[in-house]
Amino acid sequence: MKLKLYTDGGARGNPGPAAIGIVIRDDNSKIIKELGLYIGSATNNDAEYKALIKGLEECINLGATNVECVLDSELVVKQLNGEYKVKNTRLKEYWREIKRLESKLSEIEYRHVKRTENKNADALVNQVLDYLENG
């Protein structure tokens, strides 16, 4: 089964209160799962990686064998595609976890898009953070 995974992560304060947004679509572009979760205090890059890890876990649990990952984090996409080295110790741990999850799939692709093309996942992050701020 092929799924399209849209993820976003964000922190207010960098580091600061952080959340992740995950939108999973089937091959007909129908949304089959959406998640917005608070992850505690984190940096933007931590949140981006944690969103992707949680999203991949969800896709695997849904039975996916092929996942197209769509992110607005150019850094994460380029690190996972091998274009940039991962130097930060924390990010290396996330990178390793994603590579472990990749081994459970037959195909995976990482694609960078502008934030405007990742609206749903971005909105989930902001809904969680707005709720935390405003109650």
Cα–Cα nearest to 67, from 34, 110, 29, 32 = 110
One-letter amino acid for residue 9 of the chain: G
Average pLDDT on 8-31 reads 96
Band (135; pLDDT cuts 50, 70, 90): confident
Q: Do the domain assignments include residue 20?
A: yes
User: Is residue 91 assigned to a domain?
Assistant: yes
In a domain, 104, yes or no: yes
What pTM was estimated for this model as a whole?
0.97
* pLDDT tens-digit series, residues 22-38: 999 999 999 999 999 99
What average pLDDT does the segment 111-126 reach? 96
135: in domain: no
Q: What is the pLDDT of residues 95-112, one digit of tens each?
A: 999 999 999 999 999 999
Has residue 44 been placed in a domain? yes
Q: Whose CA is closest to 133, among 9, 11, 8, 7? A: 11
* pLDDT tens per residue, range 43-95: 999 999 999 999 999 999 999 999 999 999 999 999 999 999 999 999 999 99
Q: How many CB atoms lie within 10 A of CB 4?
A: 21
Spell out the alpha helix ranges (H) of 1-135: 44-61, 74-80, 89-102, 119-134
User: How far is CA 133 from each of CA 9, 11, 35, 59, 125, rounded to the nearest angstrom?
Assistant: 17, 12, 19, 30, 13
DSSP class per residue in 50-61: HHHHHHHHHHHH
Output the CA–CA distances (angstroms, integers) from residue 65 to 33, 59, 110, in the order listed.
16, 8, 15
As a whole number, mean pLDDT of residues 3-12 equals 98
Pairing of strands 2-11, 16-25: antiparallel
Q: What's the CATH number where 24 sits?
A: 3.30.420.10
29 is in which domain, residue-wise?
2-130
Q: Is residue 107 one of the residues assigned to a domain?
A: yes
